[in-house]
Chains A and B, each alone.
Chain A
Amino acid sequence: DIVMTQSPDSLAVSLGERATLNCKSSQSVFHSTDKKNYLAWYQQKPGQPPRLLIYWASTRESGVPDRFSGSGSGTDFTLTISSLQAEDVALYYCQQHQDIPITIGQGTRLEIK
């Protein structure tokens, strides 16, 4: 199984500042035929289901604010929030779908400093 490891486990950032969340996979999630990284990022707020933010490592889902961006390839990925807003307080998960089983990181809790 591909193990997804997120860092840090929790992060406190001031409003308006940049937040950088990391995700590392134990094997590459790059699909050589499709030329895609099958890596997605989700945001989850208390009592709510996850919300898709980013797929293919860097493609923003429709309706997601452009302060959210994804980058990386192979085994190392980053979710960046360029200017933290109060509504961004949440848990963030990375998920790979390059291989079965689909695996998900343990999550990063993002808070306001």
Chain B
Amino acid sequence: EVQLVESGGGLVQPGRSLRLSCTASGFTFGDYAMSWFRQAPGKGLEWVGIIRSKAYDERTDYAASLMGRFTIARDDSKSIAYLQMNSLIADDTAVYYCSREKTLTRARAFDIWGQGTVVTVSS
């Protein structure tokens, strides 16, 4: 079964860091670009960033609003994508989803999603 499972969320104080993991199974992880999205309570979806496959040099892009605080990495040997979040602020409170891009068909859409992990930034 094709699956993504996020982990690493929780309660964190403002200014601290947190690393989320997205563990993939059921497909050849290294062939796909992976993206992170987030959804604040009661709000819409927001794109966080993307990491492309090794075939595309693992190039990353991010939402400008994050001002360089977030970094995405991948470990294809473990089938895991990471979201490193630094200098967290209250507005980063959200459910964080990882998703798989339909890379092989070049569709630039996201067909597999994890169930999400909750990040709460509060003192």
Contact = CB atoms under 8 A, between A and B. Distances in A.
Contact of A55 (B37, B99, B109, B114): B109
Contacts of B53: none
B97 A49 contact: yes
A44 B107 CA distance: 20
Interface residues of B, number: 24
Interface in A63-113: 91, 93, 95, 97-98, 100-107
Main secondary structure of the interface of A (DSSP, over half): loop
Contacts of B97: 49-50
- Kindly state the interface size class of chain A when it binds its partner: 20 to 34
Main SS at interface, chain B: strand
A52 B35 contact: no
17 contacts: A40-B108, A42-B45, A44-B45, A49-B114, A50-B110, A50-B113, A52-B109, A55-B108, A61-B111, A91-B44, A93-B45, A98-B108, A100-B61, A101-B63, A102-B47, A102-B50, A104-B45
